[in-house]
Chains A and B, each alone.
Chain A
Amino acid sequence: MAQTVFAPWDDPNEKPLIQFRNVTKRFGDFTAIDNLSQDIYAREFFALLGPSGCGKTTMMRMLAGFETPTEGQILIAGQDMAGVSPNKRPVNMMFQSYALFPHISVWENIAFGLKREGMEKAKIDARVTEMLRLTRLERFARRKPHQISGGQRQRVALARSLAKAPKLLLLDEPLGALDAKLRQDTQFELMDIQEKTGTTFVIVTHDQEEAMTVASRVAVMDEGQIMQVATPAVIYEQPNSVYVADFIGDVNIIEGAATPQGDGYDIAWAEGQPVLHVKTGKSFAPGQKCFLAIRPEKVGISAEEPTDAANKVQGQIIDIAYLGNLSTYHVQLADGTMMKAQIANTRRLSRRSLTWEDHVWLSWTDTAPVLLES
């Protein structure tokens, strides 16, 4: 049985859980969020991705109630959040520093929010035990936060913020303090927990790999605005701007002028060089400036001139970055443009023929690149 694809954002009947309506937030002269509107749906794992200072943390803090929008409205489950203080919102937050209370035990930390609700003791016991099991912390219940490891602290913070069963869980750079290996494991754990609990997660991160791994949709932000919101695959394969293409992963950008040709466009990109052909659904005026974006792994590299490739350019290998599973070749084209080509190292090193200063051909199909206006 095929699983139904989770895509409430494509369903016009679906009501969003969170609505940003023309939200602007200014700190003095500085505009952190600039007239931003965005819907987030229940059960989504929504990632706010961007460089530091892009406004992603401000958006999260406005959801939690620690900041109030200067203009515009934020609705959670249809209710306007203006004037609702943080302790009255159906929202919990996992802090970047974890913000565990150092003077009480792991158990007490998790029970903290439940006690504030005035829940009866037996129910608190049951709920805390459930949270400890979910985050595999049973053994550490009696310890104080400074007596456990960073990874365990991260799980305590998660358990504490989930204990009250919030409609919305906010995660502020939740994995920033963990080392790379632990971070990967925890990413999958987070997705697992999100699925099990059915809670809507909004995660703030500057780590694009993390956003791509965990999120159902990613919002790429820059200077207080959302540049693109889409599933990780769409963000990667069909970025809508050079900024997004460049922010997510590695990309070669070639600037040129478009001329309609067949079912796509011919791109004149350098004098004396053959035009590049790209198939695209977008339309460009003849001679319009455009940017051709192509991911390095979609560029082939060979010593001999390929015969069947739609696009090919000649260049010289300047640098090779060996990453173990992959090698990235930096190739300088005739006009000085640098291009990257990435090849999976499926053969052993000694059997590969390309090396520094070799003259090579780069080639790609006419559907591999994306043509962008800006």
Chain B
Amino acid sequence: MRRLVLISVPYLWLLALFLIPFLIVLKISLSDTALAIPPYLPTLDLSEGWVGIKAFFAELDFENFRFLTEDDLYWKAYLSSLQIAAISTLLTLLVGYPIAYGMAMAPDQWRPTLMMLVILPFWTSFLIRVYSWMGILSSEGVLNQFLSWIGLIDQPLTILNTNTAVYIGIVYTYLPFMILPIYATLEKLDGSLLEAAEDLGCSRLSAFWLVTIPLSKQGIIAGCFLVFIPVIGEFVIPSLLGGSGTLMIGKVLWEEFFNNRDWPVASAVAVLLLLILIIPIILFQRNEQKQREREG
């Protein structure tokens, strides 16, 4: 009995906070738009009993999903999101790996401080940090002023409201998610393995390729998923730093909801996004499990 109570707690939590909201969104995605509050039909009317429920289900259909396939905006937005997510994941990896490596190689007494520096930005609001990037990247911004002051440019660079700004924003925001798992694997790396590799004829560089990289693979995979998955649905960064050319599904979704007030289509976009995300999420879970098995 006590066991039952114990395991029911997390299940109730998941039910209330994940499954029920998801079912509501799913239901809306199967509904039709209406000028009403809430702005969709049908709504469930339990006062009519069994007939009402039957009528309610009869009115649900997949029309909105069909619509998504008809208008190529959505497909382009999904593909563009995947592309931006993939490129920014790669960029985050390229920036994050050396930082994680440097942290892991740093003297013991320095590590907590370095770790703190990585985590510290989380202590201020994400929105404020993205806004401050607007201040840095705009044509009169800090970066342009600095570059023209040192004489590197005469014309201000247009960075804000381009995909470049989106990449900068994403790499900046998601960097800790890349650094921390990689750091965790690198920190555990036995230094004598590198000495052994050198002893057996490796140069420093080939020892890095043949030993350090393969042994931090789990961290790299974990970090990449932790960046890739949320970036696909990212909305704040493309809408604040990106331009009109930046097409991301999060932005499309927001516009459907709030500009067009088309909740059913917006919900369909969200449900499809979730289906797309399930694949990398499952892969991520399998990677984590494999790592646990290896360590266990």
Contacts and interface: CB of A to CB of B under 8 A. Distances in A.
Interface of A: 64, 66, 85-87, 91-93, 95-97, 99-103, 112-113, 116-117, 146, 160-161, 164
Contact of B193 (A85, A93, A101, A113): A101
A95 B192 CA distance: 7
B203 interface: yes
Interface string B177-198: 0000000000000101101111
Nearest to A93: B199
A116 B193 contact: no
A87 B203 CA distance: 7
Contacts of A103: 214-215, 217
Contacts, number: 55
Contact of A102 (B195, B200, B210, B215): B215
Contacts of A91: 199
B198 A99 contact: no
B195 A87 contact: no
A239 to B, nearest CB: 34
Contacts of A66: 195
A87 B196 contact: no
A86 B192 contact: no
- The binding surface of chain B is classed by DSSP as helix
26 contacts: A64-B195, A66-B195, A85-B198, A86-B195, A86-B198, A86-B199, A87-B199, A87-B200, A87-B203, A91-B199, A96-B192, A99-B192, A99-B193, A99-B196, A101-B193, A101-B196, A101-B211, A102-B215, A103-B214, A112-B197, A112-B200, A113-B201, A116-B200, A116-B206, A161-B200, A164-B200
Given A87-B203, A116-B206, A95 B196 contact: yes
Interface secondary structure of A, over-half rule: mixed
A87 B206 CA distance: 11
A236 to B, nearest CB: 33
B95 interface: no
Given A66-B195, A101-B193, A160 B215 contact: no
A146 B199 CA distance: 22
B202 interface: yes
A87 B192 contact: no
A93 B197 CA distance: 10
A45 to B, nearest CB: 20
Contacts of A99: 190, 192-193, 195-196
Contacts of B190: 97, 99
Nearest to A61: B195
| From A86, A96, A146, residue with most partner B Cβ within 10 Å | A86
Contacts of A116: 200-202, 206
